[in-house]
Structure 1
Amino acid sequence: MVAELFDLSGRVALVTGSSRGIGRALAAGLARAGATVVLNGRDPGRLETARAELAAEHPAAEFHPAAFDVTDADAVRAAVAGIADRVGDVDILVNNAGFQHRQPLLELSVEDWEAVLRADLTSAFLVGRAVAPGMIARGRGRIVNICSVQAELARPAIAPYTAAKGGLRNLTRAMAAEWARHGLQVNGLAPGYIATELTAPLVADERFSAWVTERTPACRWGDTGDLVGPAVFLASDAAAFVNGQVLFVDGGMTAVV
C-alpha cells in the first residue's frame, strides 16, 4: 500500500534545533508518521518544556530530549552515542539547527560571520558525520538538511546566512555522493518565508510582509505545517531513489523572476 511507503514506525529520528519553530513542527510531523523522535537544543529547560508539550499534544508518540551544542564536535559525538544507548540508533537525521544574523557586509565582524557558518553549516557536517557510520553499517539511513530559499537567492544584509545555506546545499550533494552507495538518502528541504515566532517581527512589518506576498506566487507566507509532508517524504521509503536533491517549499518564490 502507498501509505506504508510513508510509515516511519520503528525508526529513531533526531531533529536538531527542535525546541521551537520549524524544528519542533518537523519533530511533531515525524512522530505522527510513527517515528520515535529525539529533540535537540542547547537549553535543557526549553527542551524539556517542548518535550512535555509535544507529548501532551501527541500522546501516542514518543519524544526524548538531548541537549547538546551541535557546533561542538566532542559534544556531538558523545550525544549521538548517548542517544544510541538510551533510545536507539539514529535512522533519520534532520539538520535544522541554525540562526540568522542581519548586518551589512562592510559592518560584519569575522566573529559574527564565523558564528553563523558554524551554526548553519558546520553543525550539519558534524552531526551528519557522527550518525553516518552507524547508518552505513546498517545499510540504510536518511539525512534531511534544512536549507533555505537563500541557498538559491540573496538579499542585502544576510550574507553569512546566504553563504551557509548555499554551502549546505552543496554539502547535501557531497554527502549523497559519498554515502548513497551505502544505502543512505541525503537530501535538502528548502523553506521559503515561513511564519514562526522568530520571523514574527518580519511578518508584522507591513512593508516587508507585502514584499514577501507579492514576490511569492502563492501570495502568502508559509507556515510550519507546509514543511511536514515534504520532510516525511524525504525521511521515508517513498524517497528511496531520491538523493542529493534540494526540495524547495517556497510557494513558487524561486520559480519566478
Structure 2
Amino acid sequence: MSVISRECYAVPLPELSGARVLLTGLTSASGFDIARAFADHGAHLILQSPEQSPEMTELVAVLAESTSEIRLFNTPLESDGDAARLMQAAIEASGGIDAVVNLAPIALSDIEALETPEDVEGLISEALRLPLRVTEIAANRMRLVWTEGSILNVVRVPGGIGGRAMMLADVLRAELAELTRGLARQWAAHGIRVNAIAPPSSVAAMAGEVQASDADLAAVALALASRKGHGASGHVLDAAGAARRWC
C-alpha cells in the first residue's frame, strides 16, 4: 500500500460507513486497494474472487481488521447463471447493495491470439458480458428497494505490449462508452449511476499515459460511491493519476 493511497483513504467520507459494497473479480494481484479503501471507511464488503490461495486468505484477513462485516464468495463468474446466483447470495447476506465495482481484466494470452477485427469484437464482447450482467441485476435490485447507488465497471488490459493491445483499447473504449451511456440513461430516473474505467487510448498510450494503478482505481471508486459522485453517470473515465488528483 502506497503512502499516496493511504492518505487518499484518510479523506473523511462518512456516508460510506455501513455502505454495502460488492466487488467482483478480486484477486491477490488486483483489486485489494479498492477493497481496502472501502473497508477503511467502514463499508460492509461483499467480495467475489475466482482465486483460492493463501495470499487471498491473508488479504481478506487484513481487510477484516478495517471493517465490521466482510463476506467472500470464492466462486468464478463463468455464466449468466453464476452472476445471478452471486447477486442473490450477496443480497441475502447483506440485505441489499449500495455500490458495485466490477473488475474485468483481459488476459495477455487472449490479446496475443487476436488476428482479425472479428477476434477483437469477440474478445471485447466476452470480457464485458458478465460485468454488464452483474450491472443489470444490481441496478434492478437497487430500483426495487429505492437505493440510489453507484456501479463502476473497470476493464484492464496489460500495458506495454504493442499494437494489438492499443487497437483493442481503442475499440474497447468506444464500445464501453456506448454501453455505459445507455445503461446510465436507462437507470437515471431511479438515481442509479453507471460509470466505467477503460485503458488509455492508443493516442494517449503513445503520448506516455500509463495504466491506472490500483490506488488510482480506489480513488475513483470511492469518489463515485460518495456524495462527490452523485452528479456523475454515463462516463468512461481515465483513472491514471487519480490517487494524486482526487484526494
TM norm structure 1: 0.72
Alignment of 1:55-70 (within 5 A): 55-56=61-62, 59-61=65-67, 62-70=69-77
Contact 1:121–1:164 (Cα < 8 Å) also in 2? no
Q: 1:138 to 1:4 in 2, by over 3 A?
A: farther
Alignment of 1:1-257 (within 5 A): 7-43=15-51, 45-46=52-53, 49-56=55-62, 59-61=65-67, 62-100=69-107, 101-103=110-112, 105-106=114-115, 110=119, 114-115=122-123, 117-118=125-126, 120-139=127-146, 140-147=148-155, 156-158=163-165, 159-160=167-168, 162-190=170-198, 215-216=208-209, 223-251=213-241
Q: Using the alignment, how far apart are the partners of 2:129 and 2:208 within structure 1?
A: 31
Q: Using the alignment, how far apart are the partners of 1:78 and 1:223 within structure 2?
A: 30
Identity of matched residues, %: 23
Q: Using the alignment, how far apart are the partners of 1:109 and 1:20 within structure 2?
A: 32
Q: Using the alignment, how far apart are the partners of 1:65 and 1:124 within structure 2?
A: 18
1:64 counterpart letter in structure 2: R
> RMSD value over aligned CA atoms?
3.4
SS in 2 for 1:84: helix
Q: Using the alignment, how far apart are the partners of 2:181 and 2:14 within structure 1?
A: 23
1:97 counterpart letter in structure 2: A
Q: Using the alignment, how far apart are the partners of 2:238 and 2:92 within structure 1?
A: 35
Unaligned runs of 5+ in 2: 1-10, 243-247
How many aligned positions are there? 223
User: Residue in 1 aligned with 2:7?
Assistant: none
Contact 1:189–1:249 (Cα < 8 Å) also in 2? yes
The Cα of 1:187 is off from its aligned counterpart by: 1.4
Q: 1:213 to 1:12 in 2, by over 3 A?
A: same
1:233 counterpart letter in structure 2: A
SS in 1 for 2:222: helix
1:168 counterpart letter in structure 2: L
User: Residue in 1 aligned with 2:5?
Assistant: none
Q: Using the alignment, how far apart are the partners of 2:136 and 2:50 within structure 1?
A: 19
Deviations 1:182-235 (A, max 9, x none): 110111234559xxxxxxxxxxxxxxxxx979713xxx7753222222210011
Unaligned runs of 5+ in 1: 194-210, 253-257
Contact 1:147–1:168 (Cα < 8 Å) also in 2? no
